[in-house]
Amino acid sequence: MRCMHITSGLLSIVGAAFLFGTVHALMIEPINIERVATRTDGEVTGGQGRRGETPPSDPVDAGTPDPADAAPDTPATDEPVGAESPVEIEVPDEVLDAPVPEGTLTLRQSYELWEDGAYFIDARHEHEFEEGHIQYAAWLASSLFDTDSDRAFAIAQSMPPESTVVIYCVGGECDASHNTARRLEQIGFTDLRIMGVGYTDWVDAGFPTGEGSAP
């Protein structure tokens, strides 16, 4: 008898949760979890308003931030690290061209886009971004659109919608890049790329990084 009563109570809670969830679903915009179509070539499009229209002459020398990077995608506290000596980076081809998930960029393609001045978006957690990120990257996690939409849209609007935007997270099977890409696609961005490798791969290759708080 008691067991029946507990079970019926449990089913009542489940039913009520379905009811509230249904009403909730009807009251907000439909949620979307499909993957966006991203490009995988290493060529920058959207010639206007690229990040750092004057790309760093020597990306290895990350100690000299690009003056053109006064845009909001470069936090004032973004201090380049890991590039004390301007030595030529030599990364083995097997690392640069390591296999990546379909529809994503290899490390080589990502670096070429970085050199060409594409916008880079860090989709990891904010504290991870603050600890270190790809130089000139901006932080824009998908969840920011829910928790602080004004800030999220301000960051998104600092980039022209037609510009090339490369999004990265921790790499591997992480979904954060895809989630941010979906949000950006919804607000009109047309050239979104996903890094198939993660931030640690970028660091391991010795490519320029920065640290500091998100804008």
| Residue ranges that bind other proteins, judged by CB under 8 A | 1-2, 5-10, 12-14, 16-18, 20-22, 24-25, 28, 31-34, 125, 142-143, 145-147, 169-176, 179
Q: Identify which of residues 90 and 173 has a Cβ nearer to other proteins in the complex.
A: 173
Supply the minimum distance, in Å, between the C-beta of residue 143 and other proteins.
Answer: 4
**205 C-beta neighbours (distance < 10 Å), count:** 18
Supply the minimum distance, in Å, between the C-beta of residue 45 and other proteins.
Answer: 27
Q: Identify which of residues 31 and 37 has a Cβ nearer to other proteins in the complex.
A: 31
Supply the minimum distance, in Å, between the C-beta of residue 106 and other proteins.
Answer: 19
DSSP E strands in the chain: the ranges are 79-81, 119-122, 133-134, 138-139, 164-168, 191-194, 209-211
Supply the minimum distance, in Å, between the C-beta of residue 186 and other proteins.
Answer: 10
For residues 142 and 183, is the Cβ–Cβ distance under 8 A? yes
For residues 63 and 80, is the Cβ–Cβ distance under 8 A? yes
The H or E element spanning position 194 is: strand 191-194
Q: Identify which of residues 20 and 204 has a Cβ nearer to other proteins in the complex.
A: 20
